[in-house]
Structure 1
Amino acid sequence: MSHRPAPLPLAEAQSRLLAFAPDLPIEWREAGQCAGYYLAEPVTARRDQPAAPLSAMDGFALRAADLPGPWDVIGESAAGHPFTGSVATGQAIRISTGAMVPPGADMVLIKEDSAVDGKTLLLTGTPPQPTGRHIRPQAMDFGAGSVILPAGWRIDAAAIGLTIAAGHAHLPVRRAVRLAVIDGGDELALAGTLPEQHQIPASNGPMLAAIAQRLPVQATRIGPVPDRLDALISAFAAAADADVIVTSGGASVGDHDLMRPALAAIGAQLEFWRVGIKPGKPLLVARRGHQIIVGLPGNPASAWVTAFLFLLPLLRATLGAGHALPRTIHVPLATPMGKGGSRMEFLRARWDGASVALDPLQDSGALSPLARANALVVREPGAAPAPVGTPVPVYLTELD
């Protein structure tokens, strides 16, 4: 009988896995093509934003010391077409939102508080308080030489806009992760075919590839692979160029005992096996050189939960994420939760923005709760029953 090590606590298993994250090379990508990547280096602004004082309102630029007026209107400053002179005592210029405030002016009087008689500007309302209220000062957003985003920052649409505004056309990121997804088991039939009664459709492989491709990942699917040692070794050989291999089903240590002989045959080392969580206890992690092999359980809910808790964090860490692990929030229960068992549990649930309702079906072989769920409720080992309204830790699974 195979020796079964004591299951690792979740935090220890995650920490050990992330320490193995491959160190991928840095490449410079066009900023607009970097959504979903993580910055490999800090980004420093190459210019001031704004580069000069700008008006935040439509109105008139003038000297506050000349209040209450009147003023001679001597020109205009529009966005992209600045006034080329300066404003002297008793003078004003028309100015539009986003236009440069000319030298000499230190106040914008908005249109609603003014009137123009010919070329004479009159104060009809209340001047702004403070007088510079409607002026965006130079470098208000960021200044040249300042770090605008740190290494490890996940690049989204706003970050792309920020970095381009700061003067960058390309950004430093880790190249996309090469991931091989191996789906294994004699019971699996190809997706789209009608399986025999003793078979099930091979759904884990496409599901895991879809989970991974939330991130910059190039996923290759292999399988279904039959429960034979030679077939598993061949699958690993086909994935020799991958940074990360993820397997599910058909090769769990202790079931058919295929994984350890296969790992030995390809020169990989089993780093740890079994984690104290439910579902997902038989998770394993191995290394072959710089390649990481993550073996997930075959039951769909177990594969999905362990992919969320382990595979996604590993991929984020490999891509250089500053924070690779998922975060929990505390949300009140919309349905009661029973007593906890001997392991930390992750219950499929639906969050509506205010509270979270547990799915009535929590079997690890069921896919319909996964499709309905957008959250995982964490139930600690031995937790007391929790009534409706109790705040509980929750992972929002639709967020990265």
Structure 2
Amino acid sequence: MSLIDVEQAQQRLFSLSSAVEADDLPFAQAHGRWLSCDLMALRDQPWSDLSAMDGYAIRYAGLPGPWTVIGESAAGGDCALEMGTHEAVRIFTGAAMPKGADCVLVQEEAEIRAGQLVLTGEGPDRPGKHVRARGSDFANGTLLLGKGSKVGARHLALAAIGGHSILPMHRTIKVALFSTGNELVEPGMQGRPADLPASNGVMLRAMLTGMPVTIDDLGIIPDDLAAQTNAFRRALTADIIVTTGGASVGDHDLVKPAFEAVGGSVDFWRIALRPGKPLIAGRKDRTLFLGLPGNPVSAFVTATLFLLPLVRHMSGANDPLPPLTSKILTQDMPATSARANYIRAIVENGNVRPCASQDSAALLSLANANALIIRPPHSGPAKKGDQVEVILLS
């Protein structure tokens, strides 16, 4: 099976799945998820013409006054008062404008003298000054947020003031996770020099934190076909099965045959990517399978490019892929071969420099990095001062 490029692999992965079923969620559970349909306003905002300042509601044609104050309007209710050209109503921020008023004289520019309201400053310069017109933010029926929009704190505020208390989202995605390898032990359990603490599961669980997923961590599975087949069988109730290790072509790389043993079908295997070439994607009924490499940097890069975008895609996101930005290189870089290179790097003051070590097992350089430089396949040498595309790592 020949190598496929990163962009083609991402689109093929998305084509294996669609967004999971919709579910209405309260605000407390909606943050960080994606809308399953358009969200429309259920009310006008503001609900009426409201004052934007403390002062006096007046009619612009009555300037420069004086005026007779005929009443008061405070926030929280309608104003039944109706006023003439030389009448005013004491008004407070957020209060409804009385009938006949079209602007607000702020209190700093007015005084009461001998029972009359008089102008002491410049006053409003036009009708509508210091007035929030009814529906000026949005009207009933306005599109507030489109399908596939990610909902953050400001969007929750918009939905609430738009009249909603629950939001149309997609249900939580079930992810089953296990690591393969006879050399792996649980973190903190190292006994022999050859024991390798399992870091991928810890890392992937953290990468999925804050996403709309539940994780079933099956732990470490040895390099045994029957054991890995059984792990797949146990995980088939999940929406996504994620493995690390065992995805290459060695005698102990058993993930692919184990997945096929439970009836799974592999869609693609091996990506034109460095690090992360031995990546597997497939499906068994409605369950997606993503086999990530065992080297931790490769696992991180492929999770960034494939696992997290897959979760976003199945959650209904319009833009599931990681956002790209441009930075200026601070040193020369060599040409690339037939594989895209995703290079650990450090962004500082708008510039970017590669980390010294790019070994796929070197976690220290990954921990120190805050970005990945993207070098497409067959790219010529990059020079200091060139613009390069970068994925920022949060």
TM-score class, shorter-chain normalisation, is over 0.9
After TM superposition, the score normalised by the length of structure 1 is 0.94
CA distance 1:248–1:18, shift in 2 (3 Å): same
| Bigger mean CA offset, 124-133 vs 318-327 | 124-133
| Bigger mean CA offset, 337-346 vs 177-186 | 337-346
In 1, Cα distance between the equivalents of 2:125 and 2:387?
A: 45
- Count of aligned pairs between the two proteins: 394
> Paired residue for 2:306?
310
Residue 14 of structure 1: SS of its match in structure 2?
Answer: helix
1:239-318 residue pairs with structure 2 within 5 A? 239-254=235-250, 256-318=252-314
Letter in 1 for 2:299: A
Letter in 2 for 1:324: P
Residues 35 and 155 of structure 1 are in contact (CA less than 8 Å); yes or no, is this contact kept in structure 2?
yes
> Paired residue for 2:231?
235
Shift of the alpha carbon at 1:134? Answer: 1.3
> Paired residue for 2:198?
202
In 1, Cα distance between the equivalents of 2:331 and 2:90?
A: 61
Unaligned runs of 5+ in 2: none
Shift of the alpha carbon at 1:103? Answer: 1.4
Residues 186 and 250 of structure 1 are in contact (CA less than 8 Å); yes or no, is this contact kept in structure 2?
no
In 2, Cα distance between the equivalents of 1:255 and 1:48?
A: 66
> Paired residue for 1:90?
86
In 1, Cα distance between the equivalents of 2:352 and 2:219?
A: 37
Letter in 2 for 1:273: W
CA distance 1:285–1:233, shift in 2 (3 Å): same
Determine which of 55, 58, 76 is the counterpart of 1:80.
Answer: 76
| Bigger mean CA offset, 25-34 vs 266-275 | 25-34
Determine which of 360, 365, 370 is the counterpart of 1:369.
Answer: 365
Residues 274 and 341 of structure 2 are in contact (CA less than 8 Å); yes or no, is this contact kept in structure 1?
yes
Residues 184 and 251 of structure 1 are in contact (CA less than 8 Å); yes or no, is this contact kept in structure 2?
no
Letter in 1 for 2:86: G
Shift of the alpha carbon at 1:81? Answer: 4.5
> Paired residue for 1:128?
124
1:331-346 residue pairs with structure 2 within 5 A? 331-346=327-342
Residues 103 and 126 of structure 2 are in contact (CA less than 8 Å); yes or no, is this contact kept in structure 1?
no
Letter in 2 for 1:210: A
Shift of the alpha carbon at 1:114? Answer: 2.2
Shift of the alpha carbon at 1:260? Answer: 3.1
- Cα deviations by residue, 1:237-275 (Å, 9 ceiling, x for unpaired): 221210000100134345534133212210000110011
1:1-400 residue pairs with structure 2 within 5 A? 5-254=1-250, 256-352=252-348, 354-398=350-394
- Cα deviations by residue, 1:354-382 (Å, 9 ceiling, x for unpaired): 22232212111011222222211111223
In 2, Cα distance between the equivalents of 1:327 and 1:8?
A: 21
Letter in 1 for 2:388: V
In 1, Cα distance between the equivalents of 2:267 and 2:53?
A: 62
Letter in 2 for 1:260: K
In 2, Cα distance between the equivalents of 1:365 and 1:279?
A: 10
| Bigger mean CA offset, 216-225 vs 346-355 | 346-355
Letter in 1 for 2:162: A
CA distance 1:156–1:353, shift in 2 (3 Å): farther
Unaligned runs of 5+ in 1: none
Residues 34 and 171 of structure 1 are in contact (CA less than 8 Å); yes or no, is this contact kept in structure 2?
yes
Letter in 2 for 1:201: P
RMSD: 1.7
Shift of the alpha carbon at 1:141? Answer: 1.2
CA distance 1:214–1:31, shift in 2 (3 Å): closer
In 2, Cα distance between the equivalents of 1:326 and 1:69?
A: 60
In 2, Cα distance between the equivalents of 1:309 and 1:250?
A: 19
Letter in 2 for 1:343: R
- Cα deviations by residue, 1:107-130 (Å, 9 ceiling, x for unpaired): 111223222225422122223333
- Cα deviations by residue, 1:182-220 (Å, 9 ceiling, x for unpaired): 111111111122242112100101111211223111011
After TM superposition, the score normalised by the length of structure 2 is 0.95
Residue 306 of structure 2: SS of its match in structure 1?
Answer: helix
Residues 247 and 292 of structure 2 are in contact (CA less than 8 Å); yes or no, is this contact kept in structure 1?
no
In 1, Cα distance between the equivalents of 2:234 and 2:214?
A: 15
Residues 182 and 205 of structure 1 are in contact (CA less than 8 Å); yes or no, is this contact kept in structure 2?
yes
In 2, Cα distance between the equivalents of 1:44 and 1:15?
A: 31
